[in-house]
Amino acid sequence: MAKKKLGLKERYAALTRGLDWETTYEPMDEVFPYDRYEGIKIVDWDAWADPFRLTMDAYWKYQSEKERKLYAILDAFQQNNGQLNISDARYLSAVKIWLQGITPLEYVAHRGFAHAGRAFRGAGARVACQMQSIDELRHAQTQLHAFSHYNKYFNGMHNFAHMRDRAWYLSIPKSFFEDAYSAGPFEFVTSISFAFEYVLTNLLFMPFVSGAAYNGDMATTTFGFSAQSDESRHMTLGLEVVKFMLEQHEDNVPIVQAWLDKWFWRGYRLLGLVGTMMDYMLPKKVMCWKEAWEIYWEENGIALFHDLGRYGIRLPKHHEVAGKEKHRLTHEMWTTLYQFGNALGLHTWIPNDEELDWFSEKYGELFDTMYKPRLLYLRELEEKGERYFNNRLPMVCQVCQIPVFFTEPDDPQTQCVRIVEHSGTKHHCCSDGCKDIFEREPEKYVQALIPPQQVYRGEAGGATNIFEYAAWLHLERDVDTGEYRGSPDHQHWLEWQRRHKAASPDEAA
C-alpha cells in the first residue's frame, strides 16, 4: 500500500482530536458539568485551533531532554557550593519571596489546569490544559529542588509551607490564584494562561531571571529559563482560548472583556512584588521595573491588545494607571516591606549609595525628590541604632490584599484609598482597579480572608502583637525576619566568603 506522509497538523488531529466522542449513555451535560455556567457560548468545538501540536511522544522527548539538562546543573550546583557564587546574600530575599509566594502557586496552577483539562468538552482544549497541568507540577517541583539547597544554608525558607497558608503578605499571591481556581474553567484559563502568562509573566521570567543569571544564581536561572519554554506553550494556549471564545459568539465579547479588565489589574498588582524583587533585591541590576514595563507591557502587551481589536476588544481598564505608577510602584512597595519587616520571612535593608545613584539614573526627578530623601532618612535612623519598624499589621486591600499604601494616580503625595460598602459593611480597596473588581463580584470578595483581621479576631494562635504573630508563622525573630545587616544570613555570608577566598587562592587572584 502506498504510504501517505502525514503533516504535523493532520497527525496531531488524528492522534488527539479524534479521541473524544459524544456520549449517549450519559448526558454530555453530566459528563461535562462545568463548561456552560459562565455563560460562554461555544457553537463549534471543532473550530478550536491547537496551539503547539505536541503529541505525548514529542512531549516526552523534549521535556526529558530539558529535565536532564536541568538536573545535571542542579547537581553540579549543589556539589560545588553554588550558593557561594551569587553576587551577595541580599539577593536571597528574592529567592525567599519566590519560594514562599510563587512556588506554591505552581501547584495551584497544576490543580486549576487539571480542573480545566477535565471540564471543557472539546478534546483539543482539554489536552492543552492537561499538558499545562503537568507542566505546572514540573515548575513546582523543579523550584523546590533548586531552592532546597539554598534552604540548607540560609534562613526564611524552611517554613514556607506553613507560611503559605497563613502569612499576611503571602495572601497576595494566594488570593490571586485561589480567585482564578475558584472561577469557572474559561475564566481560569483566561486569567492564568492569557492575562497572567501571555501578558504579564514575561516580566518575571525574562528580566528577573536574566537578573538572576547576572547575580550568579545558576539554580534559578536554569529552572527559570527552562520553565519559560513551557510558558511559551501556555501563552499560546491562553491566546487561543481568548480568540476562540471571541470567534465563537458575539455574546462572549463583553464577558471576555470584563475578565481581561479584571485579570490585567489583578496580575499587575501581583507583579508589583516582582518589580520590587528586580529593583531592590538584585544587587547587580539588569533592567529596572519601569524599563521592563515599557518593553513587556507598553510595547509587547499593547501589540497583543491591538491585535485583539478586530474582535472588539479594547485595552484593559486602568492600564493607564499602571503607566502612571511605573515611576513609583517599586519604591512604595519596598518601603512598605521595609517597615513591616518584623512580620516577613525575608530581610529588608536600605540600598547603598551606588544603588541610590542607579535609581536616580533610572527614575529621575521623582525618585530624587520623593523616595531618596525617605530612604536616606531611614538610613539615618538605622545608623543611630533606631532601625524603623512599624510593629502593627497594615490595612490591606479587600481584593489584591496588598497594604493600602499606593498613591493617587495623578498625585504621588496622596494616599489612594477607595471604600466600598456591601450589605452594610465597609471594605477598603487600594485602587479604582481593585474597587471595580470588588463591585463586579461583591459576593466573592466579601469571602476573602484578610489576615490582619484574623489576627484581631484572635484567629492567629491568639497573637496579640507582631512578634507573637511572627512566631505563629514559625518565623524566628531577627533570624528569619528583620534587617539584613547583622542578620545570621549576613554573618554567614561574610564568613563563608572569607573561607571560600582563603581556600581558593587562584580565584581570589
Partner 1 sequence: MSIDLKTASIEPIRRTFDHIAARLGPGKSPTRYQEGVWGLQPALNFHYRPTWDPARLLYDPERSAIRMADYDDLVDPRQYYYGTWTIQRGKQQDSQEKNFEFVDKRGLVDSLDEAWQRRLARLVVPLRHVAWAANNNNCYIAAYGYGAPLTSACSMHMMDHLAVAQYVSRLGLLLAGNETTCLDAAKAEWMEDPMWQPLRALVERTMVTRDWCELFVVQNLLVDGTVHPLVFDRFDKLLVAHGGAAFSMLSEFMVDWFAESSRWVDAVIERVAAESPGNAELCTAWVSQWLPRVQEALLPLAGYAFAGEASAMLDGIVDDVRARAAKCGLAA
Partner 2 sequence: MADKVFLALQNNPDAQPIIDAVLEDNPGAVLNETPGMVKIDCPGRLVVRRASVEAKLGRDFDLQEIHVNLVSLGGNLDEDDDELVLSWGS
- Judge whether 90 and 349 are in contact, CB under 8 Å: yes
Q: Which does 202 bind (CB under 5 to 8 A by kind): partner 2, partner 1, none?
A: partner 2
Q: Is 195 in the site for partner 2 (CB under 8 A)?
A: no
- Judge whether 439 and 419 are in contact, CB under 8 Å: no
- Judge whether 366 and 327 are in contact, CB under 8 Å: yes
Instruction: Give dist(CA 179, CA 444) in Å, integer.
Output: 9
Q: Which is nearer to partner 1, 30 or 354 (CB)?
A: 30
Q: Is 8 in the site for partner 2 (CB under 8 A)?
A: yes
Q: Which residues pair with 281 in a beta bridge?
A: none
Residues numbered 460-479 forming contacts with partner 1, rule: CB under 8 A: 474
C-alpha cell recorded at residue 38: 459562565
Q: Is 317 in the site for partner 2 (CB under 8 A)?
A: no
Q: Is 126 in the site for partner 2 (CB under 8 A)?
A: no
Pairing of strands 407-408, 411-415: antiparallel
Q: Which is nearer to partner 1, 230 or 332 (CB)?
A: 230
How buried is 204 (Cβ within 10 angstroms: 0-12 exposed, 13-18 middle, 19+ buried)? buried
Q: Which does 30 bind (CB under 5 to 8 A by kind): partner 1, partner 2, none?
A: partner 1
Q: Which does 416 bind (CB under 5 to 8 A by kind): partner 2, partner 1, none?
A: none
Q: Which of 87, 88, 137, 249 binds partner 1 (CB under 8 A)?
A: 137
Residue count (the chain): 509
Q: Residue 279 CA to chain centroid, in angstroms? A: 16
Sign of the Cα pseudo-torsion (196, 202, 208, 212, in order): positive
Stretch that binds partner 2, among 87-95, 122-130, 270-278, 302-310 (CB under 8 A): 302-310
Looking at residue 241, its amino acid is V
Per DSSP, the chain holds a count of helices (H) and strands (E) of 25, 4
Closest contact distance (angstroms) between CB of 99 and partner 1 is 9
- Judge whether 370 and 329 are in contact, CB under 8 Å: no
Instruction: Give dist(CA 471, CA 463) in Å, integer.
Output: 9
Q: Which does 127 bind (CB under 5 to 8 A by kind): partner 2, partner 1, none?
A: partner 1
Stretch that binds partner 1, among 20-28, 200-208, 243-251, 306-314 (CB under 8 A): 20-28
Q: Is 126 in the site for partner 1 (CB under 8 A)?
A: yes
Q: Is 229 in the site for partner 1 (CB under 8 A)?
A: no
3-class DSSP state for residue 411?
strand
For residue 435, give every residue at least 6 positions away whose Cβ sits within 8 Å of its Cβ, in sequence order, or none. 399, 418, 420, 429
Instruction: Give dist(CA 39, CA 41) in Å, integer.
Output: 6
Q: Which does 4 bind (CB under 5 to 8 A by kind): partner 1, partner 2, none?
A: partner 1
Closest contact distance (angstroms) between CB of 302 and partner 2 is 8
Closest contact distance (angstroms) between CB of 130 and partner 2 is 17
Looking at residue 227, its amino acid is A
Q: Which of 41, 152, 306, 314 binds partner 2 (CB under 8 A)?
A: 306
Residues numbered 208-247 forming contacts with partner 2, rule: CB under 8 A: 209-211, 213-214, 221, 225, 228-229, 231-233, 235-236, 239
How buried is 402 (Cβ within 10 angstroms: 0-12 exposed, 13-18 middle, 19+ buried)? buried
Query: What is the phi-psi region of residue 347: left when phi exceeds 0, alpha when psi lies from -120 to 50, beta otherwise?
Result: beta
Q: Which is nearer to partner 1, 90 or 372 (CB)?
A: 90
Q: Is 72 in the site for partner 2 (CB under 8 A)?
A: no
Closest contact distance (angstroms) between CB of 155 and partner 2 is 27
Q: Is 314 in the site for partner 2 (CB under 8 A)?
A: no
Pairing of strands 407-408, 418-422: unpaired
Q: Is 193 in the site for partner 2 (CB under 8 A)?
A: no
Count of residues that bind partner 1 according to CB under 8 A: 98
Q: Is 51 in the site for partner 2 (CB under 8 A)?
A: yes
Q: Which residues bind partner 2 (CB under 8 A)?
A: 7-9, 51-54, 58, 62, 65-66, 202, 205-207, 209-211, 213-214, 221, 225, 228-229, 231-233, 235-236, 239, 286-287, 299-300, 302-304, 306-307, 310
